[in-house]
Amino acid sequence: MKKLWIIANFKSNFTLKESLEWLSEVGPKLHSSENLKVVACPDFLSLEEFKKDCLAGGYPLMVGAQDISPFPGGAFTGEEPAQALTGIVQLAILGHSERRENFSESDQDIAKKVAQSKESGILPLVCVQSENTPIPEGVDLVAYEPVFAIGTGHPDTPENADKVAGYIRSKHPQVRVLYGGSVTQENCKAFIQRENINGLLIGSASLDPEEFLEIIEECQYGG
Ligand code: PGA
């Protein structure tokens, strides 16, 4: 059985209280599994409390950040440096198309963020929008997220997502590729059953604890 990643990206949807409520519903229902890694990525403000509750509950859930500063600590107003997140997050989503589009992040910025996160022992998950998006050196985990599929209810086809993932892996054999973009309980299985897809990055459907748990259930037995 292949190893799968299921990653919840809350984006800017939840307050701290809502993030913790989500955790109190999802955490106790997760079962630890060698083949399935589940990650939740709340906003920066929620990370520390979220992590504390995760540890207190003994939940088999990794905590991730939605971004990271391209700089180390210092005079960079408003930025969250990787070193401040060490011990709280294990993974960071980098290069999400919403950041590229709304915050003008360039491939160069993303390469710097990758370097910062690796230096602090945080696993970078780089979002690529097509097979042509550059993947910085040292990256082992990427999410193929075509812009047309994000938050639109129009996912890519599992066939095409697999084709893109296969192409990425032919150029970067060490990389595992996740799919993201309008993943739901109904379509999740069709993606993870594809040869080159090793998991899912989920936005909207991750916000509902029940739907997220259903997706995990589907993937646990259908991958
Ligand atoms: P979506 O978002 O599941 O709401 O399409 C996915 C993402 O942006 O990572």
- The verdict on the CB of residue 38 being under 6 Å from ligand 1 is no
**pLDDT, tens only, 121-141:** 999 999 999 999 999 999 999
Distance CA 47, CA 130 (A): 30
Comparing C-alpha atoms, which of 30, 95, 79 is closest to residue 40? Answer: 30
Q: Which residues neighbour 160 within 8 Å (Cβ) at sequence distance 6 or greater?
A: none
**Confidence category of residue 222, pLDDT binned at 50, 70, 90:** low
Look at 1 and 198; give whichever has higher pLDDT. Answer: 198
Catalogue the active-site residues.
96, 145
- The verdict on the CB of residue 215 being under 6 Å from ligand 1 is no
Q: Name the residue type at position 159.
A: E
Look at 219 and 127; give whichever has higher pLDDT. Answer: 127
- pLDDT at 220 (0 to 100): 83
pTM: 0.97
Q: How far apart are the first and last CA of the chain?
A: 7
Q: What is the CA(9)–ligand 1 centre distance, in A?
A: 7
- pLDDT at 115 (0 to 100): 98
Mutation test residue for ligand 1: of 11, 145, 150, the one with most atoms within 8 Å of CB: 150
Q: What is the CA(161)–ligand 1 centre distance, in A?
A: 15
- pLDDT at 78 (0 to 100): 96
- pLDDT at 1 (0 to 100): 74
